[in-house]
Amino acid sequence: MSLWSGPGKRYMAWPISQRHMDRTIRAFEKESWDWREEFTDLGDDAGASLIEKLSDDDIAVRWKAAWALGHLGDPRAVDPLIASLDFTAPVVREEGEFTLNMAAAWTLGKLKDSRAVEPLIRGLSSACSDYVWVAAWALGEIGDRRAIGPLQKARERDEFECVWQSDASWSGRVTDPAEKVVLASITERTFHTPETPVEKALEKLGEIKDFT
């Protein structure tokens, strides 16, 4: 195990097998996006390279890296992904920012690390219902009981519209086909009716027995 140094930070190198890299590549190919244009320079330590890309000047590189890390499963990504979250920002402030938040929250749920619990709890009080439900899904995956109270409060709000798909003014802001592919995939993986993601998370935490 070695150290990788980034701008102002050092990360312990986590050996990434070719199997993990192949899985990431297959995921990109399946979802019809030209990952080669973005990720031809990952080198021997794909996780470290993708973590470095989370601070790239191009926001499209950042959200693609956040999404890729969810497939790679590298635990070193937790803190950099947390730093990428900004649930307080206006939803349409910058193209790609919404997708970065959604991808980072989804990946944190995949990594199931308790360090992400408090940052994700803050997402439950967002004015954007998409952020609420992806944060709720991630909290359900992590399974930390600190989330129960905030999830119960979020459930009382009963606001779980999939804004990026249903609101015409917002969906028009997503112009990048690759963004739409990723957002659709996150929605498919995290939003299953009739239960809301908040209810599903509470069910996983043992706080709801059924939905009738």
Reported pTM:
0.78
Q: Model confidence over 156-204: pLDDT tens digits?
A: 876 555 566 565 445 566 777 788 888 888 888 888 767 788 888 999 9
CA dihedral of 202, 203, 207, 208, whole degrees rounded to 10: 120
User: Distances in Å between the alpha carbon of 166 and those of 65, 161, 172?
Assistant: 26, 8, 10
Residue with tokens 């709801």: 208
Q: What is the set of domains in the chain, with CATH numbers? A: 3-204 (1.25.10)
Q: Cα–Cα–Cα angle for 179, 23, 87, nearest 5°?
A: 35
Alpha-carbon span 17 to 22, nearest angstrom: 9
Residues 4-57: tens digit of each pLDDT: 333 333 333 334 444 544 554 455 555 555 555 667 777 788 889 999 999 999
Residue of 155, 138, 142, 139 lying closest to 189 (CA atoms): 138
